A = this chain, B = another copy of it.
């Protein structure tokens, strides 16, 4: 009997994968965001950094990385691009020269008001009920927390 026809084989069918829909959905969500973020001239990962800073004002590269689960290899060039756009300031800490503090410029702070309608718009374009949304969030977080 060929491997193709065994029960074990079914697990290798794309349509039976749990992970593929998550991977595809993640990319599609970023597409949903694109028109709104294009208007602000930032990318989705850049938007995530801005959200953290709108909430916390100043964060180190490490803190941003811990919250967003991204390393300095990703963040350093991304933050340089945000700095080039005039949205943030990168400044080495006086107290510890290894640390780089990231803070908002007035322009970066001002963007918060332009972004505040995005979450609501996103909920609409995703077309899920609030319960489904909560379920999705909870399941994703349950795996993430392991």
A residues within 8 Å of B by Cβ? 3-4, 8-9, 11-14, 16-30, 33, 44, 48, 51-52, 54-55, 67-69, 112-113, 115-116, 118-120, 122-123, 126-128, 132-133, 135-137, 139-144, 146
Contacts and interface: CB of A to CB of B under 8 A. Distances in A.
Contact of A51 (B12, B26, B132): B12
Contacts of A55: 12-14
Given A116-B3, A116-B12, A119-B12, A21 B135 contact: no
Contacts of A112: 3, 12
A143 B4 CA distance: 30
Contacts of A13: 51, 55
